[in-house]
């Protein structure tokens, strides 16, 4: 049963081939057996999962037949989950059990999804390798000596290893798409404001967006259909109807205009990954697409702009973690200042401290105009590049990552090298447009991902292109040895 996709699970439950409880018990046993190799879970919610599975079976027995009713999933551990540890992968949230559900958690639970647990992540979503977690690094199931990508690496590793069919993630600068690429999954970052951020603990509020990771575009469509929508509790949520993503999957690609940015295929890209991109282009041309070269001239400024804006917002968002109201508190503080300093100093890891300090510096008097304001102006230029490009093309195609999954610990002493792994993904967050990564083959036995970008609220188009590609290829069906 662990090989079933979400769509196959929906059909199996509807046909009474197995029950939600049987499926849940099977996957819980698999997690207990295999996750010690991966470290993809922070918390396994066995009692919650079994109670939700039994409730789903009862709803099906009463005549309900929803696509996610009884489907097992996991949540990245920054989605607040009532009465369950919500840690953000950080020591500073030790013992914090959320008093409420995030909107995404609430929506999926209402649809009947079964929560198997909370998944490991880079601390406060800050990282590209899932090595900064207080709970230890996550391993890539394709090669246990390599990183799975981050910050949603726990979600990606668990789905890739068939511990569950789908999981939630968040994407601030590529944290859904990059781990999807490095673990042979499909992952989509929706348009900013498409999925509610309420109850999703913030890293950078103007960049964060929740989305699904799964093995197929069809499964991502099933998840996103439930996750998306307006939320009055989230002031950044957009009040716009949600498209029928499942209906969009079957549309032919005749006449689809694909843009290839010349900036994506220059220095810094592993040539073998570039070859895989061209192979994807040839398959899409066979399906009726046309291709042209385009330019995104301000992409070269994306990394410095992002690593000013995101840390600046993080320094503000993380000021609430002070040892006073919840989470970790230092022992025997002598006064309030000592409580703040030692609780934060002991509770935050090195990467989080680094970004808080960079962000505080960028926002400080005398530097705000020189750094933060200038980065926001570059952000507008990047958005304008995409708006201009989408006048000529329907989707933009390129590599998700410049390199293959690297060895654990390889970039720990060179944060900038890790930051550069986000070069192709962060522009979508800066502009707020949707992006998707899907499997595109293998190099030296390691997965390669291809990224698709589309205009605002065109998630259906991305899922359509990915689904049509997956109908004529089988990369997405490949599983790592031993899992």
User: Is it the case that residue 97 has pLDDT exceeding 90?
Assistant: yes
What pLDDT shows up at residue 126?
96
175 catalytically annotated: yes
Residue 313 φ/ψ, nearest 5 degrees: -70, -35
Active-site residue (options: 175, 196, 237, 315): 175
132 catalytically annotated: no
What pLDDT shows up at residue 146?
97
- Return the closest-CA partner of residue 120 out of 109, 130, 128: 130
CB 398 within 8 A of CB 264: yes
Q: What are the DSSP calls for 175-205, one per residue?
A: TTHHHHHHHT-EEEEPPTTSB--TTB--SST
What's the average model confidence in pLDDT over 397-411?
Answer: 96
Q: What is the pLDDT of residues 217-233, one digit of tens each?
A: 999 999 999 999 999 99
User: Is it the case that residue 420 has pLDDT exceeding 90?
Assistant: no
What pLDDT shows up at residue 267?
84
What's the average model confidence in pLDDT over 132-146?
Answer: 97
Per-residue confidence band for 252, with pLDDT thresholds at 50, 70 and 90 = very high
* Structure tokens that stand for 287 in this block: 């399906």
What is each CA distance from 65 to 15, 25, 112, 312, in whole angstroms? Answer: 10, 21, 10, 46
* Structure tokens that stand for 448 in this block: 């390669």
What pLDDT shows up at residue 368?
87
Per-residue confidence band for 416, with pLDDT thresholds at 50, 70 and 90 = confident
pLDDT, averaged across the chain: 96
286/418: higher pLDDT: 286
What pLDDT shows up at residue 298?
96
Active-site residue (options: 76, 118, 189, 276): 76
Alpha carbon 193 to its chain's center: 15
What pLDDT shows up at residue 412?
85
Quote the CA–CA distance of 322 and 329 in Å, as a whole number. Answer: 8
Q: What is the pLDDT of residues 283-337, one digit of tens each?
A: 999 999 999 999 999 999 999 999 999 999 999 999 999 999 899 999 999 999 9
Active-site residue (options: 87, 151, 343, 437): 151
What's the average model confidence in pLDDT over 438-447?
Answer: 97
User: Is it the case that residue 266 has pLDDT exceeding 90?
Assistant: no
What are the chain's domains?
6-258+391-477 (3.90.1300.10), 300-374 (no CATH)
Largest CA distance in the chain: 70
196 catalytically annotated: no
What pLDDT shows up at residue 366?
83
Quote the CA–CA distance of 427 and 304 in Å, as a whole number. Answer: 11
405/415: higher pLDDT: 405
Q: Where are the alpha helices (DSSP H) in 192-270?
A: 217-227, 245-248
What pLDDT shows up at residue 225?
98
């Amino acid at each position: 049963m662990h090989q079933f996709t979400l769509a196959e699970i929906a059909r199996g439950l509807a046909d009474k081939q197995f029950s939600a409880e049987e499926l849940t018990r099977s996957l819980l046993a698999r997690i207990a057996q295999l996750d010690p190799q991966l470290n993809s879970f922070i918390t396994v919610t066995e009692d919650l999962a079994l109670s939700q599975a039994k409730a789903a079976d009862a709803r099906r027995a009463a005549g309900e037949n929803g696509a996610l009713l009884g489907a097992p999933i996991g949540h990245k551990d920054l989605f607040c989950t009532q009465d369950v540890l919500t840690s953000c992968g950080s020591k500073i949230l030790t013992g914090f059990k959320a008093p409420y559900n995030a909107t995404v958690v609430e929506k999926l639970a209402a649809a009947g999804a079964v929560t198997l647990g909370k998944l490991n992540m880079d601390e406060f979503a800050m990282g590209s390798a899932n090595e900064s977690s207080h709970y230890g690094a996550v391993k890539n199931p394709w090669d246990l000596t390599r990183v799975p990508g981050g910050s949603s690496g726990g979600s990606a590793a668990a789905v890739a290893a068939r511990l569950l069919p789908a999981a939630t993630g968040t994407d601030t600068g590529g944290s859904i798409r990059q781990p999807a690429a490095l673990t042979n999954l499909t992952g989509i970052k929706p348009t900013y404001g498409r999925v509610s951020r309420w109850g999703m603990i913030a890293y950078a509020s103007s960049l964060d967006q929740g989305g699904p990771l799964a093995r197929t575009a069809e499964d991502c469509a099933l998840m996103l259909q439930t996750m998306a929508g307006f939320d009055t509790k989230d002031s950044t949520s957009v009040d716009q109807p949600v498209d029928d993503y499942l209906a969009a999957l079957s549309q032919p690609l005749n006449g689809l205009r694909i843009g290839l940015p010349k900036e994506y295929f220059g220095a810094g890209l592993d040539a073998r990954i570039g070859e895989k991109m061209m192979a994807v282009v040839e398959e899409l041309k066979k399906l009726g697409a046309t291709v042209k070269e385009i330019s995104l001239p301000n992409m070269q400024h994306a990394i410095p702009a992002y690593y000013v804006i995101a840390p600046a917002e993080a320094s503000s968002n993380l000021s609430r973690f002070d040892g006073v109201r919840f989470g970790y508190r230092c022992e025997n503080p002598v006064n309030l200042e000592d409580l703040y300093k030692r609780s934060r100093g002991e509770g935050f890891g090195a990467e989080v401290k680094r970004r808080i300090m960079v962000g505080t510096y960028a926002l400080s008097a005398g530097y705000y105009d020189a750094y933060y304001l200038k980065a926001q102006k570059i952000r507008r230029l990047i958005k304008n590049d995409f708006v201009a490009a989408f006048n000529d093309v329907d989707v933009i195609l390129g590599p998700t990552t410049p390199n293959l999954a690297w060895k654990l610990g390889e970039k720990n002493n060179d944060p900038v090298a890790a930051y550069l792994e986000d070069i192709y993904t962060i522009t979508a967050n800066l502009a707020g447009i949707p992006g998707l990564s899907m499997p595109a083959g293998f190099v030296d036995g390691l997965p390669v991902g291809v990224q698709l970008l589309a205009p605002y609220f065109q998630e259906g188009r991305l899922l359509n292109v990915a689904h049509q590609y997956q109908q004529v290829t089988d990369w997405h069906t490949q599983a790592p040895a031993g899992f």
